Amino acid sequence: MFSFDATEPFQYEFFRNGLVIAGLAGALCGLIGVFVVLRNMSYIGHGLSHAVFGGAALAAVLDFNYFVGAGLWGLLSGFMIGRVSRRRIIGADAAIGVVTTASFALGLALQARYGQASRSIDAVLFGNVLGVFPSDIAAVAGVAVVSVVVVVVLYRRLLFSTFDPEVAGVSGVNVPAMEAMLMLLLSATILVTVRVIGVLLISALLVLPAATARMMTNSFGRMLWLSPVLGTAFGLLGMYASWYADVPSGAVIILAGTAAFAVVYAVVGVRGRMRMAGLEHAHPA
Amino acid sequence: MTSPSPSVAVEPLVVFEHVSCSYGDSPVVEAVDFSVAPGEFVGVVGPSGSGKTTVLRALLGSVKPVHGSVRRRQGLRLSYVPQLETVDWNFPVTVREVVAMSRPTRSWWPRMTRAEIVQIDEVLDRLGLEGLASRHIRELSGGQQQRVFLARALLQDPDLLVLDEPTAGVDVRTRHEVLHVLADLNEGSAGTRPMAIVLTTHDLNGLAAHLPRLICFNRTVVADGSPDEVLRPYFLERTYGAPMEVLRHGGMPVVVEHGGDELRERMSRRGA
């Protein structure tokens, strides 16, 4: 006898933890994703998550703290990407492809050779929201708070150096420092959320809320709060739906985001075309 | 003929002394000497790839010379208006957001204050952009787009305004519009104090011939003076590497490309 109970999953602490971390991860990825999307950094995000996976596997084998191991490995990968792409013959995208995929392969090999049976590769690749520890929640919350503070305090400088780096530099903004700051926040974001969402899905969570928000507004300020709100909604909805669908939560979170993206795309597509058509006559001197 | 930067007792805003710049090994500009005095309006003309933009970057300080020095007057306030082609028009910013980004915030909270909004709207009004503050930058005409970036530069209250190809890719009417705004700013008749202007252009007849001072540039300063002094076949050929003729029309020099005859003949032969 099937009966639907909307409050059923809330009885379980692991589900409540999962819901909190899914919402937080969605908000954090939504916020950082604004810069990822506007700076065309999504491939860097994709690469970093793969690099982190190698570091995480190595840390597990050597019995090292995950955050230290994966964080150091991520830094090393970033450094190597810089070195390889500076030789000019190889573009940055190819460099990211080589370095991070190698790192990912190393992770797979280590996992297969030394991994414990209890921690399946599936969980790493596709995320495991339900296996979160309170320390994971604390880590995501910590990075989220730091990100919000940085984005608020450096708001105009981050906007200026993202929109117009050359003029920002001339106007006294320390553009390399802003870029380094965003790379650092992106790396930290991936580091703390990748175990929840999964190596293969994290870059989608970085892109979906921001891309959806972008279609809904033409203002940077509005996009900056809309995107985390959407990310949170994707996280909570996906998490909740995954309970009933009995599918890994990372996958359902991304599917929820994709559905929202598609709806907004369809709606804005019609309106946007109408607006563009109106524009051609709207050029008073 | 390399001549007169107005040499009075006025301290120049910027002085280039034998400046050379390079990217990598090969020098892009060499042994550049000129200065800009307060209130001047200078056009740098030359073919593409001649190093005009590099000179601007050296002036702005974003490129460091490998030889020589660029001296800026103590406390000089510079504002830069980039080429419109380099702007990302899909970026989600409104007109007001673009103008505001050049202002450092005084408080930790990034929201624009009432006073800031009033000040920004004043600058927009002065440039004829009233009522457009909440528009996305793409929803403007070419001349309006150029003026938005001018407004951002003006909010910094510059002594020297620097523009890279302000009329590249715009139609005739927009070109006139931009020129008039720049002339107003230079004279101080736009409600701001007079400011010196340096711009680059490859538009000899539409823009350069109207300016009081021109620098013909190709890796180095070929000629420096009024349009009447520098728009001459000898300098133009050395600048552009192609023979050119200079006619006069309505008291102004008009540059025409030479060697069109042969081309016309070939084309007409094909038509026959």
**What are the domain boundaries of chain A?**
12-278
Residues of B in contact with A157 (CB under 8 A): 104
Chain A residues within an 8 Å CB radius of B79:
171
Closest CA–CA distance from residue B136 to any residue of chain A (Å): 6
Whether B89 and chain A come into contact, CB under 8 Å, resolves to: no
pLDDT tens per residue, range A30-74? 999 999 999 888 888 888 888 888 888 888 888 878 888 888 888
- Whether residue B114 is contained in a domain is answered as no
Residue B43 has pLDDT above 80, yes or no: yes
Mean pLDDT value across chain A: 85
pLDDT digits (tens, 9 = 90+) for A116-158: 644 556 667 777 777 788 888 999 999 999 999 999 999 999 9
Q: Total domain count for chain B?
A: 1
Quickly count helices (H) and strands (E) in chain B: 8, 11
What is d(CA B265, CA A44) in angstroms, rounded to the nearest whole number?
A: 56
CATH number listed for the domain at residues A12-278? 1.10.3470.10
**Contact A139/A67 with Cβ under 8 angstroms?**
yes
Between CA B185 and CA B192 the distance in angstroms is 7
The residue of chain B nearest to residue A158, with distances taken between CA atoms, is B101
Q: What is the pLDDT of residue A280?
A: 44
B75-89, B215-229, B238-252: which range is least confident on average? B238-252
Whether residue A285 and residue B173 make contact (CB cut-off 8 A), yes or no, is yes
Instruction: Give the pLDDT confidence of A182-202 residue by residue, as tens digits.
Output: 988 998 999 888 888 888 888
pLDDT at A118: 45
Tens digit of pLDDT for each residue in A208-247?
999 999 999 989 999 999 999 999 999 999 999 988 888 8
Q: Are A185 and A147 in contact (CB under 8 A)?
A: yes
The answer to whether the CB of B43 falls within 8 A of the CB of B197 is no
pLDDT of B7 higher than 60: no
CATH number of the domain residue B66 falls in: 3.40.50.300
Element (H, E) at B271: helix B260-271
Domain annotation covers residue B22: yes
Interface of A with B in 194-253 (CB under 8 A): 214, 217-221, 223
Here the ipTM equals 0.84
**What pLDDT sits at residue B2?**
46
Contact residues for B266 (Cβ-Cβ < 8 A; gap 6+): none
Would you tell me how many other CB atoms lie within 10 Å of the CB of residue B85? 10
| Predicted local confidence at residue B172, as pLDDT | 85
| Residues from chain B contacting residue A38 (CB–CB below 8 Å) | 91-92
CB B178 within 8 A of CB B170: yes
Query: Six-digit token pair at A204?
Result: 């989608």
Q: What confidence category does residue A277 fall into, taking pLDDT thresholds of 50, 70 and 90?
A: low
Per the structure block, which two tokens stand in for A80? 């190597």
What pLDDT, on a 0 to 100 scale, did the predictor assign at position A274? Answer: 59
pLDDT of residue B265 exceeding 70, the answer is yes
pLDDT reported for residue B3: 47
Residues of A in contact with B86 (CB under 8 A): 166
Residues B143, A171: C-beta atoms closer than 8 Å: no
Of A164, A168, A223, which is closest to B92 when you measure between CB atoms? A223
Q: What is the DSSP letter of B94?
A: B
Round the average pLDDT of chain B to a whole number and report it.
87
Measured in residues, chain A has a length of: 285
C-beta separation of A131 from A250 below 8 A: no
Look at residue A275 and tell me whether its pLDDT is greater than 60. no
Q: What backbone phi and psi angles, to 5 degrees, belong to B30?
A: -135, 135
For residues A93 and A104, give the distance between their C-alpha atoms in angstroms, rounded to a whole number: 16
**Interchain CB distance below 8 Å, A159 and B93:** yes
Q: Tell me: the pLDDT tens digits for B137-174?
A: 999 988 889 899 999 998 888 999 999 999 887 788 88
As to burial, measured by CB atoms within 10 angstroms (0-12 exposed, 13-18 middle, 19+ buried), residue B248 is exposed
CA-nearest residue to B136 within chain A is: A218
Which domain, by its residues, includes B206? 14-77+157-271
Cβ-based contacts of A166 with chain B (< 8 Å): 62, 80, 82, 86
- Quick one: CA dihedral B66, B72, B74, B75, positive or negative? negative
| Predicted local distance difference test score (pLDDT) of residue A3 | 64
User: Tokens standing for A213?
Assistant: 């928000």
Q: What values do phi and psi take at B32, rounded to 5?
A: -90, 125
Residue of B nearest to A39 (CA): B91
Residue A166 contacts B, CB cutoff 8 Å: yes
Q: What is the pLDDT of residue A22?
A: 92
